[in-house]
Amino acid sequence: MPGFPEVGIPVVDLGSLSGRDHASESGTVADLVEAFSGIGFVFITGHDVGLETLAALQDLLPRVFAADQDTKSRWQIDRENYRGYIPLEFFTPNRHDGTSLPDSYEGFKLHWECPDDHPIRDECPLYGSNRWPDHLPGMAEVVLEYWVGCDRLSATLLEGLADASGIDSTALLPLFDTPLTNMTLLHYPPGPPTGESLGIHPHKDISAVTILHPDPAGGLDVQGRDGRWMEAVGPPEALLVNVGDLLELWSGGRFVSTPHRVVNRTDSHRYSAPYFAVPNHGVVVEPLVEPVPGFRRDPIPVGEVSAEVWRTNWPDEDPSEAGYHLGTLGE
């Protein structure tokens, strides 16, 4: 886009990791470490999420939001079940300082599909069943095929990064056996070319990693170390992965959770489906290695913080006195 810089997000081919026992010794993992220690984002090629899967997802997203309002309202989220349709400009950032404007998107929230008879449901109310609209046959199959691919990619990345950090490569994976992993199907209406309307406010993700297949319409901005906002542009077949606050904390600040936002500056509708890898509700995240100099963060109790994020999305709810960081950044 003329006059708007594009961020130099590295591109890493993950194909060379297939079947390797010591991924940390490969140039691929070294490239991942460099990317996640720098800008905190990377475009991944050579993943095993098929082009047909990505195409089916991109075909599905407009149909999710094309339904009339009465139909969508039947599947709307509520305070007891944060799964389903999110109306346009329904949520405001989790800051509540009197200046926050609602984000200009509508969404459909999904979570790890917890079996009906799983005992974890009795331990934590955040677990439950997704709502699959009956007017969209095949929606679950399309989403879950993509979800499984993201699960595999997330596990591959966490194994390689753990090994490169001097941690048992499989140490993190058991923490995701009953995950709070979630996905939001998103629709951003066309916005003004000035970029004055934020699709999603500046924030960092409360996840281990976030995985996204970017919309060709663009609009995802990443904040560089110099404070400038730059648009992320990469290969069309690539998946964009960024470090979340949880991986940043596990790594003692070696890997960087970078601020980002969405601004739809075009006259096109923008769609995406970010996948947020989040561990089990009982996990308390804290550094697994010696923190880098100057890095200090409080431990993150995953279940408590997740519940607080979801609760304070409602505009009439204020953050608790616990003082958890909820992703939103100050101006």
Please state, in angstroms and as integers, the Cα–Cα distance from residue 245 to each residue in 69, 105, 262, 267, 327, following that order.
35, 23, 18, 33, 8
The answer to whether 313 touches 328, Cβ cutoff 8 Å, is no
d(CA 117, CA 95): 36
CATH class given for the domain over 6-312: mainly beta
Domain boundaries, the chain: 6-312
Instruction: Round to whole Å and give the CA distance between 17 and 5.
Output: 32
Instruction: Tell me the residue type at 214.
Output: P
pLDDT of the chain, 331 residues: tens digit per residue: 444 445 589 999 988 665 544 444 467 899 999 999 999 999 999 999 999 999 999 999 999 999 999 999 999 998 888 899 999 988 766 444 445 567 889 999 999 999 999 999 999 999 999 999 999 999 999 999 999 999 999 999 999 999 999 999 999 999 999 999 999 999 999 876 655 567 788 889 999 999 999 988 888 999 988 888 888 889 999 999 999 999 999 999 999 999 999 887 778 899 999 999 999 999 999 999 999 999 999 999 999 999 988 888 777 777 665 555 655 444 3
Spatial distance between the Cα atoms of 166 and 240, rounded to a whole number of angstroms: 25
